[in-house]
Amino acid sequence: MKKEYDFSRGERGKFYRPGVKLNIPIYLDPDVAQAVREQAKRIEASIGAVVNDWLCKDFRSRSQGRRAKVR
């Protein structure tokens, strides 16, 4: 690394885009990825749809489990 950098011609916020949603890459273990691919093929859906469905179901079941314990 240099001791000093020249930012005199830099532009603040050049790449900032308010309201932009990021698509975060998720890396699955090979066996999990294979299971997702097989499920997606079986139900004729995208891999993303299968993963989102599984995650939503897991989150719902966890939140319902917490509510049941509190009561």
Q: Tell me: the pLDDT tens digits for 20-37?
A: 998 889 999 999 999 999
**How many domains is the chain partitioned into structurally?**
1
Mean pLDDT, to the nearest integer, of 17-22?
Answer: 91
Residue 6 forms part of a structural domain: no
56 located within any domain: yes
Cβ-Cβ contacts under 8 Å for 26 (sequence gap 6 or more)? 51
Domain membership of residue 28 (yes or no) is: no
pLDDT digits (tens, 9 = 90+) for 28-71: 999 999 999 999 999 999 999 999 999 999 999 998 876 655 55
Q: Tell whether 30 is covered by a domain.
A: no
Domain residues for the domain of 51 are 45-71
Judge whether 61 lies within some domain.
yes
- Whole-angstrom distance, CA of residue 49 vs CA of residue 11: 39
Asked if residue 64 belongs to a domain, the reply is yes
63 inside domain: yes
**pLDDT score for 69:** 56
43: closest CA among 32, 31, 54? 54
Residue 16 lies in a domain: no
Q: What is the pLDDT of residue 49?
A: 96
